[in-house]
Amino acid sequence: MTDQILFACVDQCCFFKLSGELRYTNASGMDDLVERLFSAKIQCTELVVDLNQASFIDSTYIGLLAALARYAQQHQLAKPVLFCTVPAINELLLSLCFDQAFDLVQQSTDPDIDLTSVQAMPYSDQQKGQMILRAHEALIALNEQNKTQFQSVVDLLKQQLS
């Protein structure tokens, strides 16, 4: 399974299909999409994430997903829909209270849309650090439990980036 990000925006519905090992080392393309969403370069009124072909997801990617939920909340949109049939990933999402910010659906998808492959962005080490920090800040903003679990990571990242 290849690590890849596929994306489409059709009728202001943004569809993210994330496959393979989702680690901070290959997250720059997803981070760029999230940043374009927040800067209104992409117009979305509905967000859908497909993790059915993901084999692993780290806290940076979890934070990028949390940023999507924050976007939906800030724009008074419906909760993003997140499809995932991978038991270990569903367990992780539930342990981080993602069911409060997403509609979690445990079924496969077969979207009839043309998805475009999103390439990694050429981030410097500083930009990667900023991405990891933003992702973890979004993760701790979801709820108190996540804040307790990841605040020390955020504090360390801020210290290292200053």
Distance CA 79, CA 42 (A): 18
Alpha-carbon span 43 to 25, nearest angstrom: 27
- What range does the domain containing 31 cover? 4-161
Query: pLDDT tens-digit profile of 125-157?
Result: 999 999 999 999 999 999 999 999 999 999 999
Q: What is the tens place of the pLDDT at every residue in 12-52?
A: 999 999 999 999 999 999 999 999 999 989 889 999 999 99
pLDDT band at residue 61 under the 50/70/90 scheme: very high
Share of the chain above pLDDT 90, in %: 91
Number of separate domains in the chain: 1
**Residue 1 banded pLDDT, cuts 50, 70, 90:** low
- Return the ∠ at Cα 99 (arms to 78 and 88), rounded to 5°: 130
d(CA 41, CA 113): 21
Q: What is the pLDDT of residue 111?
A: 77
Query: What is the domain-level CATH number for residue 127?
Result: 3.30.750.24
| Beta strand ranges found along 86-150 (DSSP E) | 103-105, 116-118
